[in-house]
Amino acid sequence: MLYGMEDDYDKEFGQLIKKEKSKKNKIMLIVAIIIACILVIYASFSISYHFINKKVDLSQNNMSNVNNNKSDEKKSTLTKKNAKVYNGEHTQIAIHDMEKIKTKFIPQPNENAQNLIKEIYKSDEKQVYLTFDDGPSKKITPQILDILKQYDVKATFFLLGSRVELYPDLVKREFEEGHYIANHGYSHKYSQIYQSKDTTFAEYVQCENAIKNALGNPDYNSYLFRFPGGSSGGKYEEVKSQARELFNTYGVAYTNWNCLTGDAENKKTKEECIQEMINTKNNQNSIILLMHDANDKQQTVDALPEIIQYFKNEGYTFKNFYEIFK
């Protein structure tokens, strides 16, 4: 009997165990399903968030590109409105196209230049070369350039190398406005310049290098020199004579003047300068007029408009030395 009762108990106990296992399996299945659902929901949310962000980024990029394009168009329009044009007597060239401007105005060597300059003094043509020595200067040169621009007249500036180094921007302005940049030596100290023909030529070279640096153009050569105090006469005549031959050897011409305002002498008012110019002009038709644009030459500034008007009234053509070295 006892044996039979144990069998029944074992059967009941086994059934209880099976029921407990079944119950646990159901709970684990439910938990697994819940976890799986949570993972699916999380994955779906992540994917959706990624695509939404990507779409926003694309939209922002597109808007940025549109705004940039609009900004570029605006800048382009402003640039066109503010663009300036060179309005000299030569071909109109955009102000930024400096290479064409430089090419247009770079003097070219002319083996016949000295003879052509001599012919100016003998010519019966009504022509006038306005020339300015001893500059540039901070006070006077800009005023002279303003007047020349106002009257659309081109002049020739015989520059001192020591002054060029002080005011390179004024040299650039002279150049860009169509005036001829020529050479007047470096120091203007006679005892230094005229020690020998070689020191005279060395002054020319030193000034020429200063001009090249100011213009930012190593290819620029003026080929034209004005001897301080004139190319002949005085206590340095022998040195000047030798120097003239040396300059000719290197293809460099020189020029003096046949008319002047006396602004480097005792003529301190514009009326005195104008009268001196008329007196020294005399009956000559072809004129090379000597003036100065050093810092103490306000009388030259004051007289210049009337001088220009005088020659216009007399039917003169204004020239500079690009005519010879073009």
Read off the pLDDT of residues 70-112 as tens digits, 9 standing for 90 and up.
444 433 333 333 333 333 333 233 333 445 444 557 999 999 9
| Residue in 188, 263, 292, 293 annotated catalytic | 292
pLDDT of residue 11: 43
For the beta carbon of residue 296, count every other beta carbon within 10 angstroms.
14
C-alpha to C-alpha distance for 200 and 190, rounded to whole angstroms: 9
Q: Which of 184, 131, 127, 185 is nearest to 316 (CA)?
A: 127
Q: Please list, residue by residue across 205-220, b when 16 or more beta carbons sit within 10 angstroms of its beta carbon and e when fewer do.
A: ebbbebbbbbbebeeb
- Three-class secondary structure of residue 40 per DSSP: helix
pLDDT of residue 56: 36
Contact partners, residue 276, CB within 8 Å, separation at least 6: 260, 261, 262, 267
pLDDT of residue 43: 54
Contact partners, residue 251, CB within 8 Å, separation at least 6: 109, 111, 113, 223
Specify whether the CB–CB gap between 256 and 231 falls below 8 A. yes
pLDDT of residue 31: 67
Which residues of the chain are under the pLDDT cut of 50? 1-19, 45, 47-98, 100-102
Q: Which of 228, 239, 235 is nearest to 292 (CA)?
A: 228
Let me know if 292 is a catalytic residue: yes
C-alpha to C-alpha distance for 148 and 305, rounded to whole angstroms: 8
Q: Give the relative orientation of helices 98-105 and 168-176 as an angle to the nearest 10 degrees.
A: 80
Let me know if 169 is a catalytic residue: no
